Amino acid sequence: MSKIIYLSIILSLLLLSCKDKKDPSSFYMPAEFEEQEAVWFGWETDARYYPVIANVISGLMPTVQIKIAAASDSLLSASKKVLASLSIDTTKVQFYSMKGERYWIRDHGAAFLVNEKGELGAADFDWSLYGMEGWYEQKYDKNTDSIKKYMTKYFDTNTGKVDSLMAVAEKATIIKSNIVIEGGAIEVNGKGTLILCEAIALQRNLGKSKSELEHGFKKALGVTNIIWMKEGLIDDAHIQQIHFKKYVTMGTGGHTDEFVRFADANTILLAWVEESEINDHPFNKINFERMSENLRILEQATDQDGKPFKVVKIPLPDPIERKIIVKEKLDSTDWINVTPRYFIQKDAPKVGDTLINVAASSYLNYLVSNGVIILPTYIKQGSSTEKEKQVANIMKTVFSNRKQIWVECMPQNWEGGGIHCSTQQQPKRK
9: number of Cβ within 10 Å: 11
DSSP codes of every residue in 41-82: EE--S-TTTHHHHHHHHHHHTTTSEEEEEESSHHHHHHHHHH
Point out which residues pair with 354 in neighbouring strands: 325
Separation CA 10–CA 136 (nearest Å): 59
Distance (Å) of CA 179 to CA 157, 162, 353, 430: 16, 16, 40, 27
Among 280, 271, 283, smallest CA distance to 357 is for 283
CATH number at 25-320+359-427? 3.75.10.10
89: number of Cβ within 10 Å: 12
Whether 395 contacts 334, CB under 8 Å:
no
Q: Which amino acid is at 258?
A: E
Query: What string of pLDDT tens digits covers the 430 residues of the chain?
Result: 555 555 555 555 555 554 445 688 899 999 999 999 999 999 999 999 999 999 999 999 999 999 999 999 999 999 999 999 999 999 999 999 999 999 999 999 999 999 999 999 999 999 999 999 998 988 888 888 888 888 888 899 999 999 999 999 999 999 999 999 999 999 999 999 999 999 999 999 999 999 999 999 999 999 999 999 999 999 999 999 999 999 999 999 999 999 999 999 999 999 999 999 999 999 999 999 999 999 999 999 999 999 999 999 999 999 999 999 999 999 989 999 999 999 998 889 999 999 999 999 999 999 999 999 999 999 999 999 999 999 999 999 999 999 999 999 999 999 999 999 999 999 999 8
- Model confidence, pTM: 0.93
> What are the extents of the domains in the chain?
25-320+359-427
Among 253, 273, 271, smallest CA distance to 261 is for 271
Separation CA 270–CA 272 (nearest Å): 6
What contacts 335, CB < 8 A, 6 or more positions away?
48, 414
Among 289, 294, 287, 291, smallest CA distance to 234 is for 287
